[in-house]
Amino acid sequence: MTPSAPQPRLTVIVPAYNVAPWLEQCIQSIRQQSLTDLEIIVVDDGSTDATGELLEAWVADDPRLKVLHQPNAGQSAARNRALELVRSPYFTFVDGDDYLSPEVLEEAVALLESEPELGLVEFGFVEEYPDGRRQPQLHSSLRYTSLEAVRSLALSAEVSGMPWGKVYRSSLTSDLRFPEGRIFEDTPFVLEVLMRTTAYAYLPSCGYHYRVMRSGSSTEHWDGRLCHLFENVLELREHLIDRDSPYRPLVNELLLRRLIIFVLWADRHRAEQPELLALLLPYTRSLRGEPLAPGGWGIRLRNQLFLRAPRLFLGIKRLLPTPQYS
């Protein structure tokens, strides 16, 4: 009988779809981590470029690398397939076109091992643009309770809704999966992890390198799929969060703030995408009469105008000078 492989300390999950030009940097950055006791699970999600061939060529060089191939089913399905195979006490996600700094995983795992109440550790990231610009996104060291972390996410403060740039405790998330068949699947996954954890920590280190708006990425263009964000989070709200839960106003605030942003964008681009506004505005009804995070009277007035009379809200906004967005 062949003995089973020893359990790694950390599993790195890499969903990969047509990322051949960036994949070597991604995989090498994981293989060269100062934390060597790890397993790498790459799911090739039906790539039509050289992604699959590159991965198979690297498997023989590193026994820590496991490659799975599947017909194209989307990033959520790829991540979920890998989650089924996690054997380690901790795991993280790295998209196949991104990469890591060499010591960040060791630092995050050490923090999780020293503080058992932590369900996840987040670290900073660098946005890397096609024109060569690099924009660090970094905060000071933080410790939050579960509720404080959800509030930070809702208010678009320190906690991000991206699943990458975080190391998770596997025991907290063993049954948690991404919604499939939709994009904007990240936020409900992160939200549920934050609601399950006792504590959250932020590591002040730019450990993740995120390629912004590369050609072909699933969020390169805003279109009717913006609705997926609201469908995903509303499903989580209705299934898991009671009306008297302290999390409910924060989740509603998250939905409201993002809905306002998307509706204003759709209004500015209504000539190019005339259907988008009509798709988004009905989501105001899902927030009417719902508790929201506390705010001043001006914010409360704005929110109610937007939720009760969104087209009047937009008419007023068109009359006011506003910043220019792309």
**pLDDT confidence of 19, banded at 50, 70, 90?**
very high
Instruction: Express each pLDDT in 299-325 by its tens digit.
Output: 999 999 999 999 999 999 999 876 554
**pLDDT confidence of 182, banded at 50, 70, 90?**
confident
Distances (CA, A) of 14 to 23, 94, 185, 241, 313: 10, 5, 16, 30, 42
The per-residue pLDDT for 242 is 94
Instruction: For residue 132, give every residue at least 6 positions away whose Cβ sits within 8 Å of its Cβ, in sequence order, or none.
Output: none
Instruction: Express each pLDDT in 236-268 by its tens digit.
Output: 999 999 999 999 999 999 999 999 999 999 999
The two structure tokens encoding residue 120: 């996840």
Instruction: Express each pLDDT in 108-163 by its tens digit.
Output: 999 999 999 999 999 999 999 999 999 999 999 999 999 999 999 999 999 999 99
DSSP string, 171-218: HHHTT--PPSS-S--HHHHHHHHHHH-SEEEEEEEEEEEEETT-TT-T
| pLDDT above 70: residue 221 | no
**pLDDT confidence of 6, banded at 50, 70, 90?**
confident
CATH superfamily, domain at 10-211: Spore Coat Polysaccharide Biosynthesis Protein SpsA; Chain A (3.90.550.10)
Domain spans of the chain, in order of start: 10-211, 224-319
**pLDDT confidence of 223, banded at 50, 70, 90?**
confident
